[in-house]
Structure 1
C-alpha cells in the first residue's frame, strides 16, 4: 500500500507493531537513514527474499528507498510472501522531511 509521507509517519508513530525497512544498497544506507530502520537491499535478488522470509510476518512494515520505486516493488514481493501489512513511502527518502540519521 502506498502512503504519503504524512500518512506513513502518523500511522507508523501510532503503531506498536511497526518495523521500518530500508531496501536501498548498503552504501546508500550508510549515507543516511530514517531512525531505527533495518537495511535489506532489494538488489540482492534471492538473498533479499531469503532475508525477508526470516522477518516476523505479524509485524507491520514501513518500507522506503530513495524515490519510492524499489520500496513499491519490495512491498509487492512481501505481499506475495504472506506479509499482510507493508506500506510504501511515496517519494522515498529523497522527499523525506523528518530526521535522517547519518552514521
Structure 2
C-alpha cells in the first residue's frame, strides 16, 4: 500500500480525497479536499475521473484506516493512483496544516 506522511505531501498541486463521514467533514477539513465518504466511493467513482491524472490522489480519513481501504480499492480498480495519508486528519492538524469548518463561526476541529 503506497503511504505518505503529512510532512511528505507536496505543497503545490496536492490532490486530496477525504473519505470521512459528513459530520467529520463538516467539523473540519482541508480547504482544497474533495469529499466522498468511503461508503459512497463506488457510486461516485465518476467524480474521480475529473481529477488530474498526472499526479497521485492522496486519500485521507481521521487516522488512516478508512483511507488505507479506500486507496487499496482505488488502486485495485485502476481508477486513480492513490496514496494513503498516514495518521490522517489527526496528523494533518498536528502538523499545523490549514483546516476549515462548514459550521459558520465555529473553530475547525478533527472529529
Are positions 1:76 and 2:79 aligned together? no
The structure having more radius of gyration, on CA atoms, is: 2
Equivalenced residues, count: 95
- Any gaps of 5 or more consecutive residues in structure 1? none
Are positions 1:50 and 2:43 aligned together? yes
Partner residue of 1:64?
60
In the TM superposition, residue 54 of structure 1 has moved relative to its aligned partner by 3.9
**Paired residues of 2:64 and 2:88 also in contact (CA < 8 A):** yes
Q: What secondary structure sits across from 2:16 in the alignment?
A: strand
**What CA distance in whole angstroms lies between the structure 2 residues aligned with 1:55 and 1:91?**
23
Are positions 1:95 and 2:88 aligned together? no
- Any gaps of 5 or more consecutive residues in structure 2? 103-111
Partner residue of 2:108?
none
TM-score normalised by L of structure 2: 0.75
**What CA distance in whole angstroms lies between the structure 2 residues aligned with 1:55 and 1:94?**
24
Task: Give the alignment's Cα RMSD to 1 decimal.
Answer: 1.7
Q: What secondary structure sits across from 1:83 in the alignment?
A: coil
Following superposition of structure 1 onto structure 2, how do residues 16-35 of structure 1 map, counting pairs within 5 Å?
18-35=14-31
